[in-house]
Amino acid sequence: MDNAGSKRGRAGSHERPDPRGLVVQRFFVGLGEVFARWTRLEVEGPDRLPDPPALLVGNHGFGGLFDLNGFAIATMIERRRPANAQFTVLVHQLAWTLGFGPYLEPAGCRPAGKDAAREALEDGHYVLVMPGGDLDGFKSFRHRNEVVFGNRTGFARIALEAGVPIQPLVVSGAGETLLVLSDGQRLAKWIGLDALARQKTIPISLALPYGFNVGLAGMLPYLPLPAKMRAAVLEPIHARNGETADALAARVHRAMSDKLTEMTAGRIPFLGLPWPQPWRRE
């Protein structure tokens, strides 16, 4: 981003909220509330996020532009942020490639990148990032209960340089709102999708209303099965003295992975209930 753009961004942080942005934000939060009811979303953890600036780190469930985890996180932020706190959402460049990005910008969405994150943190915002990108968002059903960062540590480096805490947000269950047969990494590589759209996957799934499809569900809205979803706001993670970005990122990944494993232990696919264990004594 050029210097003029940076100055405009900082000046804009003190102006009245863009009415278009409020409409878009309310749309996403409202849709998040609908999906929360549809999936019987349960949220655990503190009722209030740490004061901004802070880097909010979430995991994908399934999808790119349309991911139930994103809607769940939007709802969680809205319920737990201090009054008047602003947030910036880092979104995959694909949204701008497909022409959706400009419509999201008034709501605080920016193409994912370190410059956008740093400027928003300097302006005192929350910054939401989902580091795994499409590798995390288009996991196969077999890997649905895993947090995949793909060795991406840039978010930790940003938090270190800005001196802000990392607030992990973990969501489970979205990977059971459809059936992802494969993440399609081989197919994406064969057709050169990484070079065309910086995307390494093209999921092959069974989803309503498309049925068997390649790359439609998740890029376009699909009708999610009412699988039970759970979410958790973890304790903020602060960098240790002398800690490297790799080490900090590993700590964040471990904390989120451990929590996701805990939340999904014994889960019955698509229902969310624990497997019956009649031999267990209370």
Q: Residue 126 maps to which CATH number?
A: 3.40.1130
Across the chain, what does the average pLDDT equal?
A: 87
**Inside any domain, residue 43:** yes
Tokens of 128: 């939401």
Confidence at residue 113, expressed as pLDDT on a 0 to 100 scale: 86
180-188 contacts at long range (C-beta below 8 A, 24 or more positions apart): 180/62, 180/138, 180/139, 180/140, 180/141, 180/144, 180/204, 180/205, 181/140, 181/141, 181/205, 181/206, 182/140, 183/135, 183/138, 183/139, 183/140, 184/138, 184/214, 184/215, 187/214
Confidence at residue 9, expressed as pLDDT on a 0 to 100 scale: 40
**Inside any domain, residue 93:** yes
Confidence at residue 169, expressed as pLDDT on a 0 to 100 scale: 97
**Inside any domain, residue 216:** no
**Inside any domain, residue 198:** no
Confidence at residue 14, expressed as pLDDT on a 0 to 100 scale: 42
Confidence at residue 23, expressed as pLDDT on a 0 to 100 scale: 81
Distance CA 73, CA 128 (A): 9
- Considering the entire predicted model, what is its pTM? 0.86
Contacts with 54 (C-beta within 8 Å, 6 or more apart), sequence order:
126, 127, 164, 165, 166, 167, 236
**Inside any domain, residue 23:** yes
**Inside any domain, residue 102:** yes
Confidence at residue 17, expressed as pLDDT on a 0 to 100 scale: 58
Domain that residue 251 falls in:
3-180+229-264
Tokens of 230: 């759970």
**Inside any domain, residue 203:** no
**Inside any domain, residue 16:** yes
Distance CA 33, CA 43 (A): 12
Distance CA 144, CA 13 (A): 37
Confidence at residue 164, expressed as pLDDT on a 0 to 100 scale: 97
Contacts with 118 (C-beta within 8 Å, 6 or more apart), sequence order:
158, 161, 162
- How many domains, the chain? 1
Contacts with 17 (C-beta within 8 Å, 6 or more apart), sequence order:
none
The residue ranges of the chain whose pLDDT is under 70 are: 1-17, 276-282
In a 3-state reduction of DSSP, which class is residue 34?
helix
Q: Is the Cβ–Cβ distance between 158 and 118 less than 8 Å?
A: yes
